[in-house]
Structure 1
Amino acid sequence: MKPEQKFSGISGSTLKIIAILSMLIDHIGAAVLERGLLASAWVKNDAALFDKIRAVDRVLRLIGRPAFPIFCFLLVEGFLHTKDSKKYALRLLVFAFISEIPFDWAVRGNAVDFRAQNVFFTLLIGLLVMMAASYFSKNIWLQGLIFALGLGAGYVLKTDYGYKGVFLIELLYFLRYDRKMQCIAGALAFSWETTAPIAFLPILAYNGKRGLSMKYLFYLFYPAHLLILAGIAQYCAAL
């Protein structure tokens, strides 16, 4: 008889896959259903069909809510373990610009739309805040100012999730030495998103291990899947 296997937790790569799948489902609702099918004439003219698709959309968006908190947690973990935070920030900046047109096209229907910026900008602001706060780790007042400036940047630049997203990153960083408190505080901070707190269940089970090496998976998947969904949405809207 084989010895009973004990649950060893969830690796970082598993968390990343969970977040990516959740995000994909969310964006299918936001792009293909909301901006595509629900905007098409044949669906608008069929009230029963419109209501059914709308109901499916609500379910997809609820499934997608846990994605962002997981990405925030992984960002904090990435910062704590990276050997070069400057390269980390540069990578986020590059992909923020690469992803902006796909994001605007998929979510807003325009190639360029300044009403909202993609999530890479939110993550970049959070990373810069952590870098600055770490540099001035002995000055609590300066750290407070840095946190405030980060919130302001998220609000002014209209990044995805805005100042609330930056605040979650700051909160998870501040509580980085206590996983249980991270999860409790994070769940409370994002309780305004109905299903987002569910993200902290797999986060609580995180075992601190990297898992499979998939450094660029999210970076490449994010703009690529948005481009594909934007094309599908445009096709559906034209039906």
Structure 2
Amino acid sequence: MKRFNGFQLKLFMAMLMVLDHLDHIPGLLPPWWAESFHVITRCVAPFFAYMAVEGFLHTRSRLKYNGRLFLWAGIMFAGNFGVNHLLNVDSLTIDNNIFFTLAMGVLALNVWCYPVKSDKISSKVILALRILVAVPITVYACLAYEGSETVVPFMLICYFLRNKVNIRNIAICVLSVLLFILTFEIYPSMDTTIKMMMFNSDWLVFTALPFMYLYNGEQGPKTKFSKYFFYIFYPAHLWILALIGYITTIV
């Protein structure tokens, strides 16, 4: 079952990611195709969240890892601003930045897990202070940005239940049910209701589970290309699609 390394699975997720964003080019996809692609790609964000937890577990420096995510989030914020200002078309505005969401999730993990030892302060006081700091940061992380209400809880589940796989899977399914309940709404017609379920489909986080089982625990090739490919590919493909969309609107 565990047949693929992290790099291979990330490449597959990157291809799915492109499918999800093809509708950034106005008129390229029929509405039903765009909605269908949106549904089948709901596994992408939670899988990258899972891999971020794996990175957090195995990195040499958790703080540097977190800093790198925030750095690329900043780069993407700046790039989005530049592209949006250059194109100046509301329908082509890019506000995606999964790096920031992942960075906030890793920050929450760092606050909960960062080792603190002191001979002068009791462990109970340290725990109380940790909770006092960690809870508001975690709540903010869950509300901070794109998909954070889904991705951050998913990351917390994957980390704290990493050694209890069956309970982890149940928790992920419970998260899916809760998200479904929070987003489901009945509209005047069944067709509209289904379309809105497909649009508001972050509750499909459980679809990442099969890919998590395909992961063999190995990082894959350890090269500069494999390390930075996804940091570059994610913003680049969105900016390129926006530019293509702009060209098609003026031709």
- Where 2:217 maps in the other structure, the secondary structure is coil
Decide which of 127, 133, 147 is 1:161's aligned counterpart.
147
Decide which of 6, 27, 30 is 1:12's aligned counterpart.
6
Decide which of 213, 229, 238 is 1:217's aligned counterpart.
229
Are the equivalent residues in 2 in contact too, given 1:95–1:219 (CA < 8 A)? yes
Check if 1:152 corresponds to 2:164.
no
Tell me the distance in 2 between the aligned counterparts of 1:196 and 1:237: 34
Q: Counterpart in 2 of 1:100?
A: 77
Tell me the distance in 2 between the aligned counterparts of 1:230 and 1:142: 45
Tell me the distance in 2 between the aligned counterparts of 1:107 and 1:99: 18
The range that moved more, 63-72 or 206-215, is: 206-215
Tell me the distance in 1 between the aligned counterparts of 2:32 and 2:96: 27
Check if 1:227 corresponds to 2:232.
no
For residues 77 and 118 of structure 1, do their structure 2 counterparts lie closer, same or farther at Cα, with a shift above 3 Å needed? same
Check if 1:81 corresponds to 2:58.
yes
Q: CA deviation at 1:147?
A: 4.1
| CA-to-aligned-CA distance 1:160-215 (integer Å, 9 cap, x gap) | 11333222212221212223333332243135335432211110232212223321
TM-score normalised per structure 2: 0.72
Check if 1:201 corresponds to 2:191.
no
For residues 15 and 151 of structure 1, do their structure 2 counterparts lie closer, same or farther at Cα, with a shift above 3 Å needed? farther
For residues 25 and 203 of structure 1, do their structure 2 counterparts lie closer, same or farther at Cα, with a shift above 3 Å needed? same
Q: Counterpart in 1 of 2:92?
A: 109
Q: CA deviation at 1:90?
A: 1.8
Tell me the distance in 2 between the aligned counterparts of 1:140 and 1:176: 21
Are the equivalent residues in 2 in contact too, given 1:103–1:226 (CA < 8 A)? no
Tell me the distance in 2 between the aligned counterparts of 1:194 and 1:171: 15
For residues 9 and 61 of structure 1, do their structure 2 counterparts lie closer, same or farther at Cα, with a shift above 3 Å needed? same
TM-score normalised per structure 1: 0.76
RMSD after superposition: 2.7
For residues 55 and 200 of structure 1, do their structure 2 counterparts lie closer, same or farther at Cα, with a shift above 3 Å needed? same
Aligned residues: 210
Tell me the distance in 1 between the aligned counterparts of 2:58 and 2:35: 37
Residue type of the alignment partner of 2:138: G
Are the equivalent residues in 1 in contact too, given 2:66–2:106 (CA < 8 A)? yes
| CA-to-aligned-CA distance 1:25-78 (integer Å, 9 cap, x gap) | 11113x12xxx227xxxxxxxxxxxxx710111111112211001011001010
Q: CA deviation at 1:141?
A: 4.8
Percent of matched pairs sharing the same residue: 29
- Where 2:227 maps in the other structure, the secondary structure is coil
Are the equivalent residues in 2 in contact too, given 1:183–1:200 (CA < 8 A)? yes
- Where 2:27 maps in the other structure, the secondary structure is helix
Gap runs ≥5 in structure 2: 117-122, 181-201
Gap runs ≥5 in structure 1: 1-6, 39-51
Check if 1:118 corresponds to 2:97.
yes
Are the equivalent residues in 2 in contact too, given 1:154–1:166 (CA < 8 A)? yes
